[in-house]
Amino acid sequence: MPSELEVRCTVSNCYFWAQDNFCAADQILITSDQSSPQSPESLAADASLSQMAETPVQNREITCCHTFRAH
Ligand code: SF4
């Protein structure tokens, strides 16, 4: 059963991205990623998610979110 999870995301050129680093998609698919040593280890432990730098990408393959859709 789906949860009421709040997704925070910095991929600001995604169709589903919303201001202050929110994801507005109804559901997302995420797979493993080699990435992001700069990302916070825990969302709960990081109070500054809204201020994180945006990280736009060129295509889905270089995000860890397979729901990404470019504008
Ligand atoms: S990249 Fe994924 S998590 Fe980020 S806004 Fe787009 S769909 Fe949501």
CB–CB of 9/21 below 8 Å? yes
Q: How far apart, in Å, are the Cα atoms of 37 and each of 5, 28, 34, 70?
A: 23, 22, 9, 24
Structure tokens given for 28: 């997302």
Whole-structure pTM value: 0.77
pLDDT digit string, tens, across residues 6-64: 999 999 999 999 999 999 999 998 776 555 555 655 555 555 777 778 889 888 888 88
CA–centroid distance, 23 to ligand 1, in Å, is 5
Between 1 and 23, the more confident residue is: 23
Among 6, 10, 11, 22, which is best to mutate for testing ligand 1, by the most ligand atoms less than 8 A from CB?
Answer: 11
Output the residue whose Cα is nearest ligand 1's atom 5.
Answer: 17
Give the length of the chain: 71
CA distance 13 to 54: 9
pLDDT at 50: 77
pLDDT at 53: 81
| pLDDT for residue 69 is more than 70 | yes
